[in-house]
Chains A and B, each alone.
Chain A
């Protein structure tokens, strides 16, 4: 089997990966940039396919000029990394399948890069609530992806809820895709938001253009008379085969629903996001260290704890596209054997301050379990409820996450705990009085779902 050995391999062609590959190429390195999707841009610049050109696509995006400048480089698309073979003293060997998503005749490629930049991004954290498995309940990211890449509105009467500034661009995208937005609900109250965002304003000067973006979203809401409510959440969704209404309630500052405040709102879709989880499976497989938030630990050059492995963007901590771009430049230069300038490093530091505010203002608070019922699904794949988890912990007396996952089946389904992993850990942590092996839901030896038949066929064609 041929093993390709580029100077720099970049995994993920979102803002961080595009910036890293671009910087590494400009520093003279031979670079391979790959992405599992059919197109570059990542989730942030998710856009219409080449088959569907549009004159004014930029109105759905921020930083579109930066993207159009970066997208000109060569990108290996539809390339799914499914295994990172760990070496500890150097970058892992990456096994990749190239071809239509989840297909059976994809081309197998293997890379042993001299330097590896992981820019695999993040996916959404959606806290469970009664009825969240009903069709018509989406992550906010799904609404965004369908709006930007398909020009499809997930519903006609849509409620957007959860926590964080991401709710606002999602509402704007829905409006520009023909949906009616009922309201935008932020779980955190004004005191917490104001405290986190208004202290030491000079620190945010470098990222002040974000205030302009925010103002644009708020103008969209005002123009359509859409309320933005703080300290409010969707605590249940109702319907038989699809969502027809939701229960909305006020929350206290710990996110516990306040009794007597619940009211029902008719909707045909609800989009929920409570934050983001770094997509770290390749980093974990490569042996990279993680911090307390489950993000990849990096130094000021984007170096991880494994020699030759760098990380940039949301996998190093949730901070948005500007930080991802700045981190990508720094990591790409370092991976190519160069080093970033003072200005480039400063851009990274200044944007990190924004990330710190994000967590302080919008991070998940523990009272949300107040809206769970015993029959609320926690693991969507294996259909394990909150009651099943508690009963499993009580019946076995175990404090081992691994054994409790095996006995309850929570997190063992086809998504490999990506949707419920952190929630399962938090709930079991409370039921057991403290897990002995926390963090295990981030470890996934196979980075993607692969068909054994596809691997066997590839072996026959070209033995290892």
Chain B
């Protein structure tokens, strides 16, 4: 486990006392990434410790900035469809996510 960057709170440490939830798996650039049913694509990626998944035309890395669908920094390709806001799109089990294509 990394000691910097984003992290999902482990359910047994969570003061909101979560009840059991179903797991899902996304395929991110060919690699399976586990998540929790109901998470957004950004939530799954950040829960896995990932901070960025896009580069700008000037080669700068980007991920979530505003988190509410306004800034469009977090665009990602979902099941072959480019330019989907990762912070707004609810992840579905088996979704393939590609961070290779440029927005």
Q: Looking at the complex, which one of B4, B22, B90 makes contact with A268 (CB distance below 8 Å)?
A: B4
Whether A102 pairs with B89 at a CB distance below 8 angstroms is: yes
Q: Which residues of B contact A146 (CB under 8 A)?
A: 6, 42-43, 46, 64, 67
Whether B69 pairs with A152 at a CB distance below 8 angstroms is: no
Q: Looking at the complex, which one of B14, B85, B87 makes contact with A54 (CB distance below 8 Å)?
A: B14
Whether A151 pairs with B14 at a CB distance below 8 angstroms is: yes
Whether B81 pairs with A103 at a CB distance below 8 angstroms is: yes
Q: Which residues of A contact B8 (CB under 8 A)?
A: 150-153
Q: Looking at the complex, which one of A59, A135, A177, A380 makes contact with B52 (CB distance below 8 Å)?
A: A135
Tell me, in angstroms, the Cα distance from A287 to B17 when the chains sit together. Answer: 47
Q: Does B31 contact A (CB under 8 A)?
A: no
Q: Does A319 contact B (CB under 8 A)?
A: no
- Contact A177:B9 (CB < 8 A) given known A102-B85, A133-B62, A449-B83: yes
* Closest Cβ–Cβ distance, residue B50 to chain A (whole Å): 10
Q: Looking at the complex, which one of B64, B69, B73, B103 makes contact with A101 (CB distance below 8 Å)?
A: B69
- Chain A interface category by residue count: 35 or more
In the complex, chain B residues 55-81 whose Cβ is within 8 Å of any chain A Cβ:
56-58, 60-73, 75, 81
* Closest Cβ–Cβ distance, residue A355 to chain B (whole Å): 21
* Closest Cβ–Cβ distance, residue A67 to chain B (whole Å): 15
In the complex, chain A residues 421-464 whose Cβ is within 8 Å of any chain B Cβ:
449
Q: Which residues of A contact B36 (CB under 8 A)?
A: 51-52
Whether A383 pairs with B85 at a CB distance below 8 angstroms is: no
Q: Does A278 contact B (CB under 8 A)?
A: no
Q: How many A-B residue pairs have CB under 8 A?
A: 184
Q: Does A315 contact B (CB under 8 A)?
A: no
- Contact A151:B6 (CB < 8 A) given known A49-B38, A102-B89, A241-B61: no
Q: Which residues of A contact B3 (CB under 8 A)?
A: 156
Whether B61 pairs with A135 at a CB distance below 8 angstroms is: yes
Whether B52 pairs with A242 at a CB distance below 8 angstroms is: yes
* Closest Cβ–Cβ distance, residue A424 to chain B (whole Å): 15
Whether B16 pairs with A152 at a CB distance below 8 angstroms is: no
Q: Looking at the complex, which one of A60, A102, A144 makes contact with B83 (CB distance below 8 Å)?
A: A102
Tell me, in angstroms, the Cα distance from A154 to B75 when the chains sit together. Answer: 18
Tell me, in angstroms, the Cα distance from A383 to B62 when the chains sit together. Answer: 12
Q: Looking at the complex, which one of A38, A53, A101, A413 makes contact with B18 (CB distance below 8 Å)?
A: A53
Q: Does A104 contact B (CB under 8 A)?
A: yes
* Closest Cβ–Cβ distance, residue B98 to chain A (whole Å): 14
Binary interface encoding of chain B residues 10-32 relative to chain A, with 1 for a CB under 8 A from any of its CBs, else 0? 00011111110110000000000
* Closest Cβ–Cβ distance, residue A358 to chain B (whole Å): 20
Whether A143 pairs with B57 at a CB distance below 8 angstroms is: no
Q: Does B99 contact A (CB under 8 A)?
A: no
Whether A52 pairs with B18 at a CB distance below 8 angstroms is: yes
* Closest Cβ–Cβ distance, residue A204 to chain B (whole Å): 29
Q: Which residues of B contact A59 (CB under 8 A)?
A: 15-16
Whether B60 pairs with A139 at a CB distance below 8 angstroms is: no
Whether A60 pairs with B47 at a CB distance below 8 angstroms is: no
10 residue pairs from A and B, CB less than 8 Å apart: A49-B37, A49-B38, A54-B16, A138-B67, A146-B6, A146-B67, A155-B4, A156-B4, A381-B72, A415-B72
